[in-house]
Amino acid sequence: MKITFPHMGNMHIAIKALLEGLKLEVIPPPPISQKTFELGIKNSPEFACMPLKINVGNFIEALENGADTIVMAGGWGPCRFGYYAQIEKEILNDLGYDFDMVILEAPDSKIQELLKQLKAIGQNVTFWEFLKTVKYAWHKLNSVEELEKKLEHILPRTIEKNKAEQIYEQGLKKIDKARDKNEVDWHTKQSLAEMDKLPRHQEKILKIGLIGEIYTILEPSANYKIANYMAGLNAEVTRSVYTSEWVNDHLLGGLVKPSNHQKILKSSKPYLNYSVGGHGRETVGNAVDFARKSFDGIVQIGPLTCMPEIVAQSVLGVVSREENIPCMTLYFDEHSGTAGIYTRLEAFIDMLRRKETGQIATI
Amino acid sequence: MNHYLGVDIGSVSGNFVLLDQFGKLKSKLYLRTQGNPVKAIQDGYTFIKNNLSNTTRINGVGVTGSGRHLAAILLGADVVKNEITAHAVAASSLFPAVRTIIEIGGQDSKIIILRNAIVHDFAMNTVCAAGTGSFLDQQSARLNIPIEDFGQHAIKSSQAVRIAGRCGVFAESDMIHKQQMGYPVEDIIMGLCEALVRNYLNNVGKGKKIEAPVVFQGGVAANAGLKKAFSKVLNLPIEVPEHYEVMGAIGVAVLAREHIEHSYIPTVFKGDDFIMDGDFKSKSFECSGCPNICEIVCIKRDDEILAYWGDRCKKWETSINEPARNKLRVV
């Protein structure tokens, strides 16, 4: 059995560790590229959102590389996503690929169910081996996230922006290759220390909250790396979603680390009192949360046609007025030109900076 | 005398202005880029240069518009700014009390809301260019009326016909339908103006609070019919500045002046010889380094490579030495 899975940000590092621990041969899809987009767009329904198209592209590329089993999340939510595994299976079958699809009926179900499903995929894995590998994958996930958070902190503050990105990319590769916990820890520590050493500037750092649809937030190639772009303008971007928090809240029932999911849902009141599908309510709650933490501005992102985010967007106008925080919304689909996106972001950052200091940043 | 050059290279036009050290406009030029921004920059600069007396000197350069990166490389720019900021700066330096800016250009349209001379909120058209200059251009060509006279025809109308404003294609088929029914052309054009205003308010304005004073600028502000339609629909007086068509360029020239005067950094302007004598060429190729297959553009002056762009990994962009690149950094 040669197993593969869809990309979502840096999650592949932890998933790979998990599946390898279950004694499976893993063939991760190649990194998301223009080719992935083209394959996905060509073979998906036109009105589907970008995440589905990228998934399809991932699967085709992995199957071409020899994978014969796909693991995909399913379930009854959180939005159209609940059907994506089935649709993707149909699309790939129509294209003539021969493969098995394992759909983890995970999100928000009971943790025991998920663990049972995962263990069932494994090849003769004992219970203790299974627990150990889950723990190890969780550790890799958290180490990767330490790097991500460090980059978010350093990138807007350093003058060596390219260098910071390089250290981060190399750090990820080393964590991916590491064979045990000690190696992971060592490489994480090294990369963090290297980033800390980069020279910094003294300019004022703006704080931006990035909210919206989870895939678009976590997968940089689905949002044209806008977080790094804003960091280039000396704005620190804090995401509303980190992979480990999502796994903790939705897969592990909030048991592994303290969760602020309930607090976020509460913050959405009185602006949005009901679930509107997807993470629409979380988006509103996070906007309120960022505003109350005195962030300078909020950027909402999502794939074009994302209904939950459209609902949230219509509520954000009121949040922006009442909580006194500027909001901007960007939807992403297949563009080849990034100029329009960057022009709007630059204008947004200028606006925030002028409000803050009365100055427009020139070179 | 110190002067500041502002250049706005847009989708349809290239605009050039020269401000003196007190911010007064000394000369301006509006010319169509006709798909060749490099030539437009060279021609525009030559025109501005020929109008200069020998004692004047260009002490700073600002560039904006979708062609700003290219202009920055050709001219050597002290300030590279997006169009929204540039338009807001220009309008608020001429009308300090302005609260709403309507800007309609060749391919995009914007609304900028200001409070206390600071940008408070803005929006730009996203997927649809139905209400912009290019569409008007196309319709004026179809009706065989020069675009310069389009607005004058419109305001002759006493009764505008109803035209669908939702989409450019629908608007055109409505116009053809009304024309075949025999409605006078003035009424059809005025109807189109009102449709564009509705389209703008729905697609760009999206419920933002439009308060007076309202300034209407950008190339399309030349159209008196649109000014009248905006005034009618919003029920507010609409101000069109004297130099409405070059406001973006004025904005970056003002920013260039602020930058030079506040930072004491000498200008990076490359001078006459560089721009007027050089033979600028661009070349594009596909990078085969990874499956992204980025389309890389290389800008050259004679045999010297000035810039690369288009690569996601920045492999090409960073292959040019650091100091040269720093000057081009876009903030």
Range of the domain at B303: 280-328
Interface subset of A 310-339, CB within 8 angstroms of B: 317, 326, 331, 339
**Rounded Cα gap, residues B327 and A358, in angstroms:** 24
pLDDT at B204: 87
Residues B80-130 pLDDT 10s: 999 999 999 999 888 989 999 999 988 788 999 998 888 888 988 766 666
Name the nearest CA neighbour of A312 among A286, A280, A287.
A280
Q: Which residues of chain B are within 8 Å of residue A325 when distances are taken between CB atoms?
A: none
- Residue keyed to tokens 């963090």: A192
**Rounded Cα gap, residues A172 and A32, in angstroms:** 16
Interface contact A357, partner B, CB < 8 A: no
User: What residue segments make up the domains of chain A, in order of their start?
Assistant: 2-125, 138-200, 202-363
Q: B167 in a domain, yes or no?
A: yes
Backbone φ and ψ of B92, nearest 5°: -80, -15
Residue contact B89–A360, C-beta within 8 A: yes
Instruction: Provide the mean pLDDT of chain B.
Output: 86
The structural domain count of chain B equals 3
Residues A214-250 pLDDT 10s: 999 999 989 989 999 999 999 999 999 898 888 887 7
pLDDT at B330: 44
Is residue A298 within 8 A of residue A327, CB to CB? The reply is yes
pLDDT > 70 fraction of chain A, expressed in percent and rounded? 94
B53 and B130 in a single domain? The answer is no
Instruction: Provide the mean pLDDT of chain A.
Output: 89
Residue ranges with strand state E in chain B: 2-9, 13-20, 25-32, 57-64, 79-80, 100-104, 109-115, 118-124, 214-217, 238-239, 280-286, 295-301, 304-309
CA dihedral (A43, A46, A48, A52) in degrees, to 10, reads: 20
Q: Which residues of chain B are within 8 Å of residue A340 when distances are taken between CB atoms?
A: 124
Residue A188, classed as helix, strand or coil, is helix
B13 and B82 in a single domain? The answer is yes
**Which residue on chain B is closest to A331 by alpha carbon?**
B126
**Which residue on chain B is closest to A221 by alpha carbon?**
B312
Q: Indicate if the pLDDT at residue A75 is higher than 70.
A: no
Q: Which residues of chain B are within 8 Å of residue A360 when distances are taken between CB atoms?
A: 81, 85, 89, 255, 258
Assigned token pair, A109: 């179900």
- Distances from the Cα of A267 to the Cαs of A254, A262, B326, in angstroms? 18, 9, 43
DSSP character string of B20-34? ETTS-EEEEEEEE-T
Residue contact A354–B118, C-beta within 8 A: yes
Residue contact A351–B83, C-beta within 8 A: no
Assigned token pair, B88: 């807001």
**Which residue on chain A is closest to B120 by alpha carbon?**
A351
- Tell me, what amino acid is at A82? G
**Rounded Cα gap, residues B317 and B196, in angstroms:** 41
pLDDT at B328: 47
Residue contact A35–B291, C-beta within 8 A: yes
pLDDT at B236: 94
B153 and B216 in a single domain? The answer is yes
B122 and B157 in a single domain? The answer is yes
B152 and B140 in a single domain? The answer is yes
B133 and B198 in a single domain? The answer is yes
Name the nearest CA neighbour of B32 among B50, B51, B48, B9.
B9
Residue contact B263–A350, C-beta within 8 A: no
Of A33, A162, A347, the CB nearest to B292: A33
Mean pLDDT confidence for B212-227: 92
DSSP character string of A321-360? HHTT--EEEEEE-S-S--HHHHHHHHHHHHHHHHHHHS--
Backbone φ and ψ of A279, nearest 5°: -115, 30
Residues whose CB is less than 8 angstroms from the CB of residue A80 and which lie 6 or more positions away in sequence, other chains included: A48, A49, A52, A307
Interface contact A35, partner B, CB < 8 A: yes
pLDDT at B1: 76
B104 and B229 in a single domain? The answer is yes
Q: What is the CATH number of the domain that holds B6?
A: 3.30.420.40
Reported as a pLDDT band with limits 50, 70 and 90, residue B329 is very low
Given phi > 0 = left and psi -120 to 50 = alpha, else beta, which region is A200? beta
Mean pLDDT confidence for B219-231: 92
- Residue keyed to tokens 């007027």: B276
**Rounded Cα gap, residues B163 and B87, in angstroms:** 30
Q: B91 in a domain, yes or no?
A: no
Residue B10, classed as helix, strand or coil, is coil
B295 and B314 in a single domain? The answer is yes
pLDDT at A106: 60
Mean pLDDT confidence for A16-28: 92
Higher pLDDT, residue A56 or B288: A56
Mean pLDDT confidence for A141-150: 96
Which class would CATH give A202-363? alpha beta
Pick the CATH number of A2-125 from 3.40.50.11890, 3.40.1390.10, 3.30.160.270, 3.90.10.10: 3.40.50.11890
Residue contact A350–B118, C-beta within 8 A: no
